[in-house]
């Protein structure tokens, strides 16, 4: 049964139970905030807040920065995070206050699965090599964490492009897998934060152009050597955009 259906059924059961025990009993109220299988926020978050709940929020709105910018996932709710929350809210028809409230969390809960991946992507899509995420340039835990951030950025891109599918053709690679496919020794695929996107509903240039608005510091596409058949995105530390056939350069 879908998570949202379970929440609704539990609420109805609690209301019915309160009615059966009579008016003298204390009413059983539904919880203010619905619990989630991945992560549950227990407070509204606004500029000035800090903590792990802010960090978890930043991961999920990381695909909504100002164009060409990247949202820091540092647990500090600053102006950039507020603006990203506002853009996320606006994208989904919510009140664009910039404060993460119950309506914002409900939308996030709707968008994410119990393993924290967004609804339209999964960890398997971002791992073409080693299912335990080991053997790359960083620890398995860091590689998987990086892939989660990438997926939420891709979810934002997907939504901005009309909620049509994006086709991921390559993600995390161990060093052995990277050597096997002829990847660069310093490939971002070794860090788990890269994704190669193939054409489908959208052209490679459409993907490269939209990636500029979704928090990707690295964009490589048509016109860049070896990238005429895919658009590569990653979140390296410094900006490097090179898809000259698409007019995407840094």
Catalytic residues: 227
Instruction: Tell me how many degrees the CA angle 130-120-249 measures, rounded to the nearest 5.
Output: 80
> Strands across the sheet with 248-249, in order?
167-170, 195-198, 231-234, 218-220, 240-243, 248-249
CA torsion sign, 63 to 67 to 69 to 72? negative
Angle at 229 between CA 225 and CA 230, to 5 degrees: 90
Question: Which string of DSSP letters, residue by residue, matches 151-162?
Answer: HHHHHHHHHHTT
Please give the Cα distance from 123 to 63 (Å, whole number): 17
Residue 90 sits at φ, ψ, to 5 deg, of -65, -40
Query: Which class for 161: exposed (0-12), middle (13-18), buried (19 or more C-beta within 10 A)?
Result: middle
Distance CA 209, CA 160 (A): 12
The DSSP bridge partners found for residue 211 are: none
């Amino acid at each position: 049964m879908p998570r949202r259906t379970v929440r609704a059924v539990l609420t109805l059961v609690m209301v019915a139970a309160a009615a059966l025990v009579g008016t003298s009993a204390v009413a059983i109220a539904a919880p203010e905030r619905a619990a989630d299988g991945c992560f549950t926020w227990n407070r509204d978050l606004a500029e000035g807040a800090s903590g792990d709940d802010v960090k978890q929020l930043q991961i999920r709105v990381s695909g909504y920065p100002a164009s060409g910018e990247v949202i820091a996932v540092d647990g500090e709710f600053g102006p950039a995070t507020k603006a990203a929350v506002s853009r996320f809210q606006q994208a989904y028809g919510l009140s664009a206050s910039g404060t993460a409230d119950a309506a914002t969390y409900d939308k996030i809960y709707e968008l994410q699965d119990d393993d924290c991946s967004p609804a339209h992507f999964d960890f398997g899509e971002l791992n073409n090599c080693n299912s335990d995420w080991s053997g790359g340039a960083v620890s398995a835990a860091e590689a998987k964490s990086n892939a989660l951030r990438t997926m939420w950025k891709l979810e934002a891109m997907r939504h901005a492009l009309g909620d049509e599918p994006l086709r991921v053709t390559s993600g995390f690679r161990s060093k052995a897998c990277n050597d096997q496919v002829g990847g660069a020794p310093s490939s971002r695929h070794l860090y788990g934060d890269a994704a190669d996107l193939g054409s489908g509903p959208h052209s490679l240039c459409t993907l490269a152009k939209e990636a500029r608005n979704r928090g990707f510091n690295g964009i490589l596409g048509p016109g860049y050597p070896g990238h005429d058949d895919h658009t590569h995105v990653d979140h390296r530390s410094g900006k490097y955009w090179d898809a000259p056939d698409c007019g995407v350069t840094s």
